[in-house]
Amino acid sequence: MSVDLTQLQAVLDKALQEVQKVIIGQTQVVNLALVTIITGQHALIEGVPGVGKTLLVRTLAGVLGSSFARIQFTPDLMPADITGTHIYRMETNEFTLVKGPVFTSFLLADEINRAPAKTQSALLQAMQERVVTIDRKNYRLPETFSVFATQNPVEFEGTYPLPEAQKDRFMLKIMMTDPTREE
């Protein structure tokens, strides 16, 4: 297989250009995000509220055009809300699988530190193994499965910051800061 690096560069430039129709500035952040996606990895985006974390990931999803899902993490979110669950159907006397939002190519795990560790773990397992376990059965995720999680690093009350050991599931931690005055 031959890899045409000029072609890759052209695709990245085009993607950056499209993202920047929505996101002002943050060029370095957008570049890191694109590298993460192209290499099939996961990224953790940290920054105070309002710097554009959610908007960035939504915009990337639009530009990529791949299947996309968003999970808003909350204190009452359950593992099954991420993975899915088997539902009993009376008509057929059978259990059928209702897949959760994790079954997608590109996933936004928004404000991941708002859910307790058990729920975070359901996602972290999927990220590491690209496999989801529901009621002891394993299901494969797409080859291109990539997760972008966001987290607010200065908010502690009622949150569950990711333990250091779990941060290594992410290839990159991307810090988003305030835009400059000119931007």
Ligand X SMILES: Nc1ncnc2c1ncn2[C@@H]1O[C@H](COP(=O)(O)OP(=O)(O)O)[C@@H](O)[C@H]1O
Binding footprint of ligand X on the chain (CB under 6 A): 23-26, 47, 49-55, 179
- Of Mg ion, ligand X, none, which one does residue 79 interact with (CB within 5 to 8 Å by kind)? none
Give the Cα separation of 39 and 44 in Å (integer). 15
* Residue 54 contacts Mg ion per CB under 5 A: yes
Of 28-36, 45-53, 57-65, 71-79, the segment contacting Mg ion by CB under 5 A is: 45-53
Q: Mind giving me the DSSP string for 101-155?
A: TTSSSEEEEETGGGS-HHHHHHHHHHHHHSEEEETTEEEEPPTT-EEEEEE-TT-
Q: Which is nearer to ligand X, 9 or 72 (CB)?
A: 72
CB atoms closer than 10 angstroms to residue 76: 9
- Of ligand X, Mg ion, none, which one does residue 131 interact with (CB within 5 to 8 Å by kind)? none
Q: Which is nearer to Mg ion, 103 or 148 (CB)?
A: 148
Of 11-19, 47-55, 61-69, 119-127, the segment contacting Mg ion by CB under 5 A is: 47-55
